[in-house]
Homo-oligomer: A and B are copies of this chain.
Amino acid sequence: MLENIDLTRCVAKDEYKKRKQSLELKLAELQRKAKDLKIPIMIVFEGWDAAGKGTLINNLILPMDPRGFNVFSTLPPNEEEAHRPFLWRFWKRTPANGRIAIFDRSWYRRVLVDRVEENIDNKELAQAFEDITSFERQLADDGNVIIKMFLHISKKEQKERFKKLTKNPATAWRVSEGDLKRHKQYKQYMRAIEDMLAETDSEYAPWTLIEAHDRRFADLKIFDTVITAIEDGIEKKEKRSGIKEAVSKMAKKVKAEQPDTLNSTVLDRIDTSKSLERDEYKKQLDEKQDELRELEHKIYLHRIPVMIAYEGWDAAGKGGNMRRLTQNLDPRGYEVVPIAAPNDIEKAHHYLWRFWNQMPKAGHITIYDRTWYGRVLVERVEGFCSEDEWRRAFREINEMEQHMTNFGAVIVKFWLHISKDEQLRRFKERQKTPHKQWKITDEDWRNREKWDKYKAAIEEMIFRTSTRNAPWTIVESNDKLHARIKCLDTVIKAIKSKL
């Protein structure tokens, strides 16, 4: 298809000047408007070597307020990045609300250079397309405007540009061995590009082809594409606000709570009476802690990342459990990440953004004290997010965990389960014991009153996010000794099955 694109399009200098000025003013105005409306914008530049990306990006940012955007050049991943799944560095760079992120090359590297040079196989390629699609969809669902442009020149034009650059000693350095190698592979790249355009074109993140033989034509078309997309985004955001008002004005039917007696349950069947004798516990604890330490060494050698997620009822014993898990580990190999309510910067991004920022490096263990599941637990029950948002989250979470699994990660998820009576006993004990009083707050009591609502949310979470690659383990925790050994054991088995 690309070979049929008319690349002879051009714009005369006079016309260009005339149109350009108003486009620049318009873009600056739209940037301010998008900032006020807190719309995040992502602009992706892909294209052939020597297609003129650098110059064209410079033209684009010239009229913009420099405090409102970042330009990210995508080079081959550095060591830090190579130890993470390929989308990791781009998740980190997704713009906060109201900001613009411009990518000079992007996550599409995976399906272009990586594909052609590292011969990634069909399965990996299909996974990459899926990962990219869900990445963009998640961000678009969260309100991001995503603009993707491909700068197209013919093989002949590319050759001439390289020749011209090489002739001039001042610019010769700009033509690398890699450029020339890729030039020879023009046809192979063409195939990869056509696949990329076909597989990742969507209504929420469409591709625009920029004919880049004539710089003026390309420049106007880029401005026009960006302006149109931002205008659309603003219109949508305004509509949505209008809609929200309209909806809230409509009589909101109070939906009867689904009778609890019909919900599926796994929790009711959990035998919380499971326990372990202290002698047996001590023996097993020693053995298993030693075993885990050896495995910590092995996963480092095999560069396997491990994610261990702890969720559970208040006072279920998460802290003590985690301490037993990590007690004997080499501290250079693991990290415990406590998850509190999101801060302002985190709130200005997609809710998964902060978890992307805290993913384990290949060969390392990250233990999460509460997790991304907050979205479908506390945020759902307390109404901190909309129903659409937590419903969407089941899929988004599964996709994120799948992306980590594709990268080779081991994922273990614990739900520490205690009975309602046991929780009451522990709350009371905490209140009586001076050095434990800090652990118990009014909020804990308030949450306890919503036990049934939380229970329904937990059951649905377990049902919708128990995947083969990242299953939930429900840990009977009325007896802490039993719970600790079960967690150690589960982690050991999960790592072993990967090795």
Residues of A at under 8 Å CB distance from B?
A: 1, 4-6, 8-9, 11, 123, 126, 194-195, 197-198, 201-203, 206-209, 211, 217, 220-221, 224, 228, 231, 235, 238-239, 242-243, 245-247, 250, 253, 255, 258-259, 261-262, 264-266, 268-270, 388, 391-392, 394-395, 398, 462-464, 466-468, 471-472, 474
Contact = CB atoms under 8 A, between A and B. Distances in A.
A245 B243 CA distance: 10
Given A1-B471, A4-B269, A126-B126, A466 B264 contact: no
Given A123-B123, A209-B463, 15 more contacts: A1-B466, A4-B266, A4-B270, A6-B265, A6-B268, A9-B265, A11-B261, A126-B126, A197-B463, A198-B468, A201-B395, A203-B392, A217-B262, A224-B259, A242-B246
Given A194-B468, A195-B468, A224-B258, A264 B203 contact: no
A287 to B, nearest CB: 27
Contacts of A194: 466, 468
A221 B262 contact: yes
A216 to B, nearest CB: 11
A262 B472 CA distance: 52
User: How many copies, total?
Assistant: 2
Contacts of A474: 4
B264 A209 contact: yes
Nearest to A223: B262
A243 B235 contact: no
Cβ-closest 9 pairs across A and B: A246-B246, A203-B391, A1-B466, A6-B269, A4-B266, A221-B262, A209-B264, A198-B467, A6-B265
A394 B246 contact: no
A380 to B, nearest CB: 13
Interface centre among A195, A201, A208, A238 (most CB of B within 10 A): A201
Nearest to A7: B269
Contacts of A391: 203
Nearest to A199: B467
A112 to B, nearest CB: 16
Nearest to A209: B264
A377 to B, nearest CB: 17
Nearest to A8: B269
Contacts of A269: 4-6, 8
A6 B195 contact: no
A1 B243 contact: no
A398 B6 CA distance: 24
A1 B472 contact: yes
Contact of A211 (B209, B220, B264, B392): B264
A395 B242 contact: no
Nearest to A463: B209
